[in-house]
Structure 1
Amino acid sequence: MTFPSPTATSYALITGASQGIGEALARELASAGYNLILVARREDVLMALADSLSQRHGVNCEVFAADLSLERDVTALIEHIGNRTVSICINSAGIASFGPFMKADWDYEVGQYNLNATAVFRITKAVLDQMVPRGQGALCNVGSAAGNMPIPNNATYVFTKAGVNTFTESLHFELKPAGVHCTLLAPGPVRASVVPEEEQTIVDKVVPDFLWTTYESCASDTLAAMRRNKRRVVPGPLSKAMDVVSTYTPRGWLSPLIGRFYSQMGEG
């Protein structure tokens, strides 16, 4: 079982590639010589990224602008990659909401579920339809440490991420005999390496800089884990601490505590 090497005719597919973890992973893969299929809603941002990576690293970068909360856009993407050799897939696109479930914007909640869960489910099947017969490939789905526990005022998000977490870890064991690497990325808080003071949240100001996971370090840790076919990667000290706390602390008092904090975020 080997991690796929870059070739002239194969691609790494990355959703949510216009910002954050997805963009950082795109940059890492391009620097390693992989051709890319970049997916996100903002075509202008993707085009600028694709041009930059192509010029700097000499790789082929395809742009596929899509809103993966829409069934038709997911279908169009699946049809597109059906004509490509996808050796690596990273499902990074996702959104969140905060506040009471019964007061939430229902259309937004449905879109969140479709993006975070349904799109991941469908794209995963589409790329595995290629990888398993070849006996090689690498899949990474981005879940969350938040998917480890119930969190009031974040119900739809944790619903989707708990599903992505367990779905991906289950596939890890199933795909081992097929030679396909499968890794769950379950981060806690991740941010840019430099956050302007006027853009800092209360959390940014309270948590020391050395505890944060940057997008760049998260991407580096994730690719290292994918190469080793690790089942789960939790990058950074703060994320690791949250992962342990959310897994082993009694939910009866931890969930309401976090829920009150998330309620304030929703009000904000």
Structure 2
Amino acid sequence: MTYVLITGASAGIGEVFARTLAAQKQNLILVARREDRLVTLAAELSEQHDVKVEVLAADLATADGTEKVSSTVAASGWKLNGLINNAGFGDRGAFTELSLERQLSMIQVNVTSLVSLTWRLIPNLQESTGAFIINVASTAAFQAGPKMAIYYATKAFVLSLSEALHEELKDAGVAVSALCPGATESEFAAEAHMTDTRLFKAGTMPAEAVVRKALARRRTAIVIPGLRNLLMVWSGKFSPRLITRRLAGWLQA
């Protein structure tokens, strides 16, 4: 029996990953802070799809969060054939106006915990045939983001790391992919205080469509779901960075 471990599984894209994979008869390990929501989701998916769903409450904003996850996986003897690093958050505001604590917590969840958990679980993944890692980045990874400086920087890190690991691990049988969605229907916008921005007012992509694309192309280094998002990323490659960063700042207004 093998499992796919999903972080940030209690809502948004993470929850949709869980629902989609359960419908494909994939056993799951759901990780998030909100244990009550995980328990409810796990019970629903187990009953509907006759799969094994484990719940692991952990706070990845803390230094020992990934240690708790990896040690529980090892102690329980759970074999992994997939890891989806979905946990993450953003916040809108000037670098000097957002609290330092908030921004360091963002780095901890979006970068440090992702790196730690991936490093700890790769040996487990290498024991399965056809194993994969999906790291949820963002179209924000492709340029600097005034008014969301730390969030954009963390996603640039995730993209760069994922591309490197894609090359390093492919001969070891583990596919690594960076999922780079744009504005998506989820709790992210409300948590990041972005519901009134030009970016989200222009429309969002259903989380279900994002997840379908991610899973279908899980062995591709970079996955950008949605034609609009793809065109924005590619147009940015031919524009001066001065233009792309100012455009990103404009979209946050």
| TM-score calculated relative to the size of structure 2 | 0.90
1:191 alignment partner, SS class: coil
Q: Tell me what 1:169 maps to.
A: 163
Instruction: Give 1:42's aligned amino acid.
Output: R
1:12 alignment partner, SS class: strand
Q: Tell me what 2:101 maps to.
A: 107
Superposed CA offset, 1:152-210 (max 9, x none) = 11111111110100100111111111111111101111115xxxxxxx746488535xx
Q: Tell me what 1:138 maps to.
A: 132
Query: What pairs up with 1:1-268 in 2 under 5 angstroms?
Result: 9-82=1-74, 83-134=77-128, 136-191=130-185, 201=196, 203=198, 206-207=201-202, 212-226=204-218, 229-262=219-252, 264=253
Within 1, Cα distance between the matches of 2:172 and 2:157?
Answer: 23
Aligned-residue Cα RMSD (Å) equals 1.9
- In the alignment, is the contact (CA less than 8 A) between 1:140 and 1:185 conserved in 2? yes
- In the alignment, is the contact (CA less than 8 A) between 2:183 and 2:199 conserved in 1? no
| CA-CA distance at 1:221 after TM superposition | 0.7
Within 2, Cα distance between the matches of 1:129 and 1:187?
Answer: 28
Change over 3 Å in CA distance of 1:216–1:254 after alignment to 2:
same
| CA-CA distance at 1:254 after TM superposition | 2.8
| CA-CA distance at 1:70 after TM superposition | 0.4
Instruction: Give 1:98's aligned amino acid.
Output: R
1:162 alignment partner, SS class: helix
Within 2, Cα distance between the matches of 1:175 and 1:153?
Answer: 35
Within 2, Cα distance between the matches of 1:247 and 1:17?
Answer: 33
Query: What percent of counterpart residues are identical?
Result: 33
Within 2, Cα distance between the matches of 1:169 and 1:205?
Answer: 27
Gaps of 5+ in 1: 1-8, 193-199
Gaps of 5+ in 2: 187-194
Change over 3 Å in CA distance of 1:166–1:41 after alignment to 2:
same
2:4 alignment partner, SS class: strand
Q: Tell me what 1:4 maps to.
A: none
1:102 alignment partner, SS class: coil
2:96 alignment partner, SS class: helix
2:210 alignment partner, SS class: helix
